[in-house]
Amino acid sequence: MEEIVFGIGITALAGALATIAGAAEDTESDIGSQGDPNSQVQLAPQMGYVHRIFNKAIAGEPPAYGLWVALGAGLAWAFMAMQINPILAIVLGSALAVFVQGVYATTAYLGRTASLSKFEQPVYVDILKSMTTVTMAHAFVAIFATVTVCHLMNSALGHPFPLPLLGLVWGIALGAAGSATGNPFYGKERQYQNQAFGAGVPIAASGNIVRYAEAGQRNSIDNGFFSAKLGGPASGICFGLIVFFELWRTVVFEPVAAGWGAILVGVVVILIFAIIDRYIEVWARKTFGPYVAPEEASS
């Protein structure tokens, strides 16, 4: 019984850390314009819309965060093998992984923007200087929290996978959670605020992203400030629930039926969430219906 209580405590702590990681990851991605909406940022200069949005996407978030978290976990694992304190080892590993992320962001921004030079899209040095450091700060929080979750799974719960492999798996899961949950909020609600809500993005509006903020031209800090309110927390809750339910079912039900109990509970949890999602989708469609252009008021 004591082992189950201890495991539930570790599960709750891991879920809290994962929630922080998910929120930081989505905000970092939105500031760097790395996820799915990045295609519109890349397209904008080609359509004649020069902007000041940081544009660093080369790979999608899942493989990128799989690389960074695996790198941070691998370095932390090596430092711990050198008898360095685990907390300090995780901090050092995450910091070194963030330097790789910073190089990635710099070269991606310069390379992608240089490819758009014939469309008169300039490289803004002030954007490069300010946005890179901000994305690195958010990436550090996401990497550190995720590597800590992996270490808790290893040291406290006795997971058989080595720390770097856990980092790869959960880094991919972290990037997927942010890409699926927070990025649509950034893309549709922020980049296309000039389109009627629910109307989608017509082909004629491709690349015509919102480029001006309340005062002057919009930059990626504005996008991060906006998406951190709802998109980031939503991504954090998504990733936190994934980690919590994954560890919870393992801790509580793994002793049942030689491990099959945990598998069955996992299937049941997936089915429950699928039913809830379907109910919400049907309710939203019946309540709001398809988008209809408002009728012009008669004079």
Q: What is the pLDDT of residues 11-60, one digit of tens each?
A: 999 999 999 999 999 999 988 888 777 888 888 999 999 999 998 877 78
**pLDDT at position 288 over 90:** no
In the chain, DSSP finds a helix count (H) and a strand count (E) of: 10, 0
- Which of 45, 44, 17, 41 has its CA nearest to residue 29? 41
Q: What is the pLDDT of residues 186-241, one digit of tens each?
A: 877 788 888 777 677 778 888 888 898 877 888 888 888 888 888 899 999 999 99
Helix H or strand E encompassing 137: helix 125-155
- Let me know if 279 is exposed, middle or buried by CB neighbors in 10 A (0-12, 13-18, 19+): exposed
**pLDDT at position 64 over 60:** yes
Of residues 296 and 29, which shows the higher confidence score?
29
Looking at residues 127-138, what average pLDDT do you find?
Answer: 92
pLDDT at 294: 66
